[in-house]
Each structure stands twice: as structure tokens, then as C-alpha cells.
Structure 1
Amino acid sequence: MPIVLVRIDDRLVHGQIVQGWLKILDVNIILVVSDIVTLDTMQQMLMTMAVPDNIKLDIKNLKNATNGITNGQYDKERVMILAVSPSDILYMIEAGADFKSVNVGGMHFISGKRQLLRNLCVNDNDVESLHKIHIKSVEIEGRILPEDEKKDIMPLIEKEYRSMHRR
């Protein structure tokens, strides 16, 4: 399966995806991985309206998305995967998804998170998951838009990881 982009972005489908990433990536499916969105018909409707008609929007919970990826459902497609959290990506990788690179595009501030960069706010679980993804030889890069320079965020994550394990 040509997975064109695996992205962590807590906003999932939004203007930067539609106007930025879709304009340069030749995808025919956006796979939104979210247990919450699968239960929210309003969010599903809004995302469907935002995605161009020539691109299929597939919204699945984590388990079903992982099964689809690992069982070859998307093998003949060009897929952009959007997930809310690093733990979702880690789950897919540990279940057999073969991701070479993960783009961290937006992990915004909510209570309990600490800000490392403008668009990178993490809690301990995020740091732990990103660390585990990285040690599986998966590239992790930070970039909001495709024309932005790739930023290696792992030095920041590893610093947080070491700090967590000294507490």
C-alpha cells in the first residue's frame, strides 16, 4: 500500500490538510483514525464537506483502521492517514503497520500538556509513544505544511523522555 503520508494532527481534516497537503499529494483516500469521530455524525459530516469529491474519506475507529491497513484493504490505494495521537500510531505499528515516516503536524495545547514548540504540546503518554515509535526506526518529523522545512523533533522528545524517567 502506498501510504503517502501518516500524520498526527488533533484537528484531523482542516484547511491545512485540504489546501496544503492535498494539493501536492496524489492521494485518493484520506483515512481518519478516530474512535471519537466514528461516533460523532456532525464531525463526520463536516469532514466530508471539507474533502474534495475526487477523494474518498474513510473514517474508522482505531481497531478497524488498523485491521484495514494490516490486512491489505488499502494496498491498491494512495492513502493519507490522519490520527489524533501518537499512541494511535504506535498501536498501528505494533499491530504490523509498516510506516517509514510520521509527520507531526498539530498537537495543540490542552490541560495536562506542556508546550515544546508552537504546534507541539505533549503529555507523558505522547512522549512515551513518540519515543517507542522512534526506536522502531520510524522517522518522526515536525511540519505544519508541505512547503515547510522538515524539523527533527526527536531531540526535544528525547529530552522530555529522559526528564520523565528521572522523576
Structure 2
Amino acid sequence: MTGVHLRVDNRLIHGQVTVAWTGSLGVHRLVVCNDGVAGDELQRMLLPQAARGLPTEVLTVAEAVTRDWGDDVMVIAKDPDDAFRLVEGGVRPGVVNVGNVAPRPGTNYTMVTRSIAVTVEDAAGYRRLAAAGVPVVAQLMPRDKPADFTALLDRKGL
């Protein structure tokens, strides 16, 4: 699967995605990719409703890597492990955009940007993505300049 727009955002579908990003990228379909979310019937029902009319699927990683949607889809991974598993399974995004990653209660995290919380385990996941040859950037909104995410991790000692 090439040409896919891949975003790590643990809030999944929200206004920044459905308005700013889809319009900027010209995406016409959203795919939420996370095994836990895909196994939760309530989230499978509510997330497409949050997509403001955009066709939306909620899939496991295994389901997602078997699909080929073309270049008008945005895949939203909940965490860097999901993103790495997608890349490992054959998804070839031009870049992985790390957007909003809110702190998870009970975790020891570092705020890498004002909107991205990273644990040591998450940092290892982002580095695996970069090592797989996929550029990883932090970019909250389309108008923001993308920042090299591994450099941000380096600055924070992660």
C-alpha cells in the first residue's frame, strides 16, 4: 500500500483530522488502525460518526495491511507500535506524521512538544520506524512546519 498518509494520534478522529488534515491532503477516507479499538464495538460505532461524513473504517493492523486504498486515505494509528506494524506489513507512507499524543494516565512520559507525550517505549517505537526508512515528523496542523521527530527525541534524551 503506497501513497498512504499515516498519522500517529491517540485521540484518533477529531476536528484537526476531519477538517484541517483531510482538506489539506485531499483525503476522502479515514482508517483507524488499532487492534484494541477494532475489538471495541462502541468505538467501531462512534468513530465513523465523528468523521463528519467521511467514509471511515476501524481495522486491526492485520486487516489494514491487506488493503490497498490508493492515495486518498489517511490511516490513523493510535501509537508508534501500530504504525511500525503497518510499515512492517507493507504499508509505505511517504512520512509518518506524529500529531496529538496525549499522556496516558499512569505512564512515565516526557512532553516532546506541547501536544506529544512520549514514553521510553514509545521513543523506541518511533526510532524503529525511522530505522525502517520512514521519515517521522511532528506536525500538529498542516500549516505548521514539520520537525524531524528523532531530533526532537534526541533533544529530550529519549
TM interval, shorter chain, is: 0.7 to 0.9
Aligned-pair identity in percent equals 26
The TM-score with structure 2 as length reference comes to 0.87
Residue in structure 2 matched with residue 44 of structure 1 by the alignment: 44
**Structure of larger gyration radius:** 1
The secondary structure found in structure 2 opposite 1:67 is coil
Find out whether 1:105 has 2:104 as its counterpart.
no
Aligned length: 156
Unaligned segments of structure 1, at least 5 residues: none
8 Å contact kept, 1:4–1:25: no
Provide the rounded CA distance (Å) in 1 between the counterparts of 2:29 and 2:20.
Answer: 16
8 Å contact kept, 2:2–2:91: no
Provide the rounded CA distance (Å) in 1 between the counterparts of 2:119 and 2:112.
Answer: 10
Unaligned segments of structure 2, at least 5 residues: none
Q: Which amino acid aligns with 2:94?
A: K
8 Å contact kept, 2:5–2:94: no
Matches within 5 A, 1:151-166: 151-159=147-155
Q: Which amino acid aligns with 1:3?
A: G
Structure 1 position 159, deviation (Å) = 4.8
Matches within 5 A, 1:77-156: 78-110=72-104, 111-112=106-107, 113-156=109-152
Residue in structure 2 matched with residue 34 of structure 1 by the alignment: 34
RMSD: 1.9
Provide the rounded CA distance (Å) in 1 between the counterparts of 2:112 and 2:154.
Answer: 12
Q: Deviations over 1:83-118 (max 9, x none)?
A: 011111111212222222000001111222222221
Q: Deviations over 1:18-41 (max 9, x none)?
A: 121122222222111011221222
The TM-score with structure 1 as length reference comes to 0.83
Structure 1 position 17, deviation (Å) = 0.7
